[in-house]
Structure 1
Amino acid sequence: MYYLHAPKSLGDPELRHRNARIGHATSQDLSNWVPHGVVLQPDDPDAFDATSTWTGSVLKGPDGIWRMFYTGARFYESHNIEAIGVATSPDLHTWTKHPETVIEADGRWYEKYGDSTWPEEAWRDPWVLADPAGDGWHMLITARSKEGDVDNRGVIGHATSRDLETWEVRPPLSQPDAGFGHLEVLQTAVMDDRTVLLFSCGVDTLAATRPKGFGGGGIWSLETDQASGPYNVESAANVTTAQLYSGRLIRNRAGQWVMMACHDANSDGFFEGVVSDPIPVRWDPERGGLTLVAPPTSTAKAR
């Protein structure tokens, strides 16, 4: 598992965003974890990841090389700029960052910092998947449209590649005005012949115009025709409330689908920063989304 962490000595949990590093841990049962330390962190004050290294995804290419596509952030006094980079590894333990930015937001379709009052240039959380028809690779990205109300511009950004090396930014795979300020930590999975999209959006970044029936923020899911989109995110349903965030679906060794997520807040609303134990999930056709089979616990030893 690769996960974000920041020193608890910072005191204020909100400072974690400016100080995040990517850590590595391994487990035999998805509950008890052996930490292996930091694998990616800022090391160049002039780089695209000068301040923080954030969420990404890992896959093994046809060339046998492991690649981690990840988010690099540069924080300034009142805003931050995000871009996507890559690191490679022969063994999943030792990673080498490539200094160049892989892709950044394209102003033809996506909001750049200064286009609105939004305090960031959103271009993060790359999720890379093979094209279902075998035609290269797709990257899904947390992004914002240049059109629409400021709090309602969240879209699924898109880029494609033939070889995992050179990427071309494409128009978004979802429409703005769907009720989200952003759609974070995207993932696709095929569960029992059903293609599912998972993402996160907190209650503080839901659009003011969002219909009342959608409930609070947290982790969301929807069914889609194919993993590479397009996606009707307006149809998404809550999987969990705001206490859990940044969910990932995993099929355990017994073949059961489970979700792991960050305990974003405890009952007092204070940030916990603990990875959950695996939570069994199933598809609920009546709700049109994933639902938890059992309540979440937080005994996973990755902090």
Structure 2
Amino acid sequence: MTFTLPDHWVWDFWLARDGDTHHMMFLQAPTSLGDPDLRHRNASVGYATSDDLRSWTVHGTVLEPSGGDAPDATATWTGSIVGADADWRMFYTGSRFLRDGEITNVETVLAATSTDLATWTKDPDVVVAADARWYETLDAGTWHEEAWRDPWVFADPDGDGWHMLVTARARDGRERDRGVIGHAWSRDLHHWEVRPPRSTPGAGFAHLEVPQVVQIEGRWALVFSCDATHLAGERAGRGGGIWAVALDDPRGQYPVERATLVADERLYSGRVVADDADGRAVMLAFENVTTDGAFVGTLSDPLPLRWDGDRLVVAEVVR
């Protein structure tokens, strides 16, 4: 059954598994705001668990903005979780809006720790920000935000530390077509070295949101989201949604220019995980908009995935 809350919108989410239980963190904002566009300034992180990815038990709020001048002063946004047993680390986006009534904000990757995935403590020593050597910053004056969000952290396949992928924008290129996959590396999950992007600008995306690198049927893929209003170049004027591209090596360059749609804009922020029922790769996503463009703000049931040549596709028709 679709995951929904009676008094909150729900959108981006991320998952961790401990034994037979799936733990989901999700962005939430009260529907009492009236305008769903205001949810980004009022986002906190909710928490739910499931044994089958279909029926969820909600456990309340686990992360809220810090206020003041903190990097997460205004809102806590999308992240990812790594770890096992009683040593879990969540990397999440801190958002700080600079002025009321404007969309100008600075995004920073922050961290929190937990022993049980239910109670989280922010780690003030982990602050990963965009590096102006390679990435567009707010000071450049070319975009309304300093994009450095949606961290996806995964272990190097050969054991050489940890990689972090980030929604970012390159410092050079056509203004609207600077979306790239940012990259940082760490040996210990605590000290992070920002490195050049894993993709190049000019691929047709103003941003590549909620990136995830995952193996599906033995093949690596990059999955990300971009809506129609943020497509650029030759992609402009087409439909957006959830995108994917096959990768030869998750440690190499990502050919984002070859990305194709997996699901249209009715779904967004796709996350791939193994289904307990048969071990197949499935994708959960948040139900984004109706056919007439109205925001929905709930989460979908799992959708099975398969490869069709080099294209990743949903194995069943998306309703």
* 2:113 counterpart residue number: 88
The match for 1:190 among 197, 215, 231 is: 215
The match for 2:271 among 248, 259, 265 is: 248
The match for 1:257 among 261, 276, 281 is: 281
For residues 280 and 176 of structure 2, the distance between their equivalents in structure 1, rounded to whole angstroms, comes to 37
Q: Report deviation, 1:134.
A: 0.9
The match for 2:261 among 238, 245, 248 is: 238
Q: Report deviation, 1:256.
A: 1.3
The match for 2:189 among 140, 147, 164 is: 164
The match for 2:293 among 269, 272, 284 is: 269
**Greater RCO structure (CA 8 Å; 6+ sep):** 2
* 1:283 counterpart residue number: 307
* 2:88 counterpart residue number: 66
For residues 102 and 133 of structure 1, the distance between their equivalents in structure 2, rounded to whole angstroms, comes to 26
The structure carrying a bigger strand percent of its residues is 2
- 2:30–2:39: 8 Å Cα contact kept in structure 1? yes
Please tell me the residue identity of whatever aligns with 1:48.
P
Unaligned runs of 5+ in 2: 1-23
For residues 243 and 161 of structure 2, the distance between their equivalents in structure 1, rounded to whole angstroms, comes to 27
Please tell me the residue identity of whatever aligns with 1:294.
E
Q: Report deviation, 1:101.
A: 4.6
Unaligned runs of 5+ in 1: 298-303
* 2:48 counterpart residue number: 25
For residues 29 and 248 of structure 2, the distance between their equivalents in structure 1, rounded to whole angstroms, comes to 38
* 2:74 counterpart residue number: 51
* 2:14 counterpart residue number: none
Q: Which moved more, 1:22-31 or 1:168-177?
A: 22-31
For residues 229 and 17 of structure 1, the distance between their equivalents in structure 2, rounded to whole angstroms, comes to 32
For residues 42 and 298 of structure 2, the distance between their equivalents in structure 1, rounded to whole angstroms, comes to 17
Please tell me the residue identity of whatever aligns with 2:285.
A
Q: Report deviation, 1:164.
A: 0.6
Structure 2 residue 256 is the aligned partner of structure 1 residue 206: no
- 1:116–1:150: 8 Å Cα contact kept in structure 2? no
The match for 1:137 among 158, 162, 171 is: 162
With the length of structure 2 as denominator, give the TM-score of the two structures: 0.88
- 1:276–1:296: 8 Å Cα contact kept in structure 2? no
- 1:131–1:138: 8 Å Cα contact kept in structure 2? yes
With the length of structure 1 as denominator, give the TM-score of the two structures: 0.93
Structure 2 residue 196 is the aligned partner of structure 1 residue 174: no
* 1:294 counterpart residue number: 316
Alignment of 1:106-121 (within 5 A): 106-121=131-146
The match for 1:12 among 26, 29, 35 is: 35
Q: Report deviation, 1:46.
A: 1.8
**SS of the counterpart of 2:27?**
strand
For residues 185 and 139 of structure 2, the distance between their equivalents in structure 1, rounded to whole angstroms, comes to 26
For residues 238 and 313 of structure 2, the distance between their equivalents in structure 1, rounded to whole angstroms, comes to 14
For residues 229 and 104 of structure 1, the distance between their equivalents in structure 2, rounded to whole angstroms, comes to 22
Q: Which moved more, 1:107-116 or 1:152-161?
A: 107-116
Q: Report deviation, 1:211.
A: 4.5
Q: Report deviation, 1:230.
A: 1.3
**SS of the counterpart of 2:37?**
helix
For residues 101 and 10 of structure 1, the distance between their equivalents in structure 2, rounded to whole angstroms, comes to 32
For residues 68 and 318 of structure 2, the distance between their equivalents in structure 1, rounded to whole angstroms, comes to 39
